[in-house]
Amino acid sequence: MATLANITFACEDPSRLADFWGAALGYVKHEAPPDFMETWLASGGDPNGAAAIVDPEGKGPRLFFEKKTKTPTTTIPIHLDLSAADREAEVQRLVGLGAREVEAKTRTVGPYTERWMVMKDPEDNGFCVQ
């Protein structure tokens, strides 16, 4: 059975996006081994060609940010859903980190109502806060 290794983002500035998501989720930078970086840079690799962050408790997946052109989409087909005890406060914290609000949503099914905020990170990747 396979396990989830990375959630990978195509982006313009891997370091900046790793910093945003690290602050958003409480993750820390996952540095490449020095010998890899030496080889990478010596071969002409972009020092900001990729970045990664990990859950410091080792429970969540690694997020990997790779410098590459994104495919334009009109919807958010795959995205991260964040859960917070105080959604409003978390939305404001994330806005302070560089995210932006897109749309507040509500869905009611029978007696169950859920609310969330659709947001975009600093490079326009969509995500939601419940």
- Res 46: pLDDT: 87
Domain range for 47 is 1-70
Please say if the pLDDT value at position 20 is more than 90.
Answer: yes
Whether residues 45 and 84 share a domain: the answer is no
- Res 73: pLDDT: 76
* Nearest-angstrom CA–CA distance, 97 and 115: 22
* Nearest-angstrom CA–CA distance, 89 and 86: 5
Domain termination site, one of 53, 70, 87: 70
Count up the domains in the chain and report the number: 2
Please say if the pLDDT value at position 58 is more than 90.
Answer: yes
Whether residues 3 and 60 share a domain: the answer is yes
Q: pLDDT category, 47, cuts 50, 70, 90?
A: confident
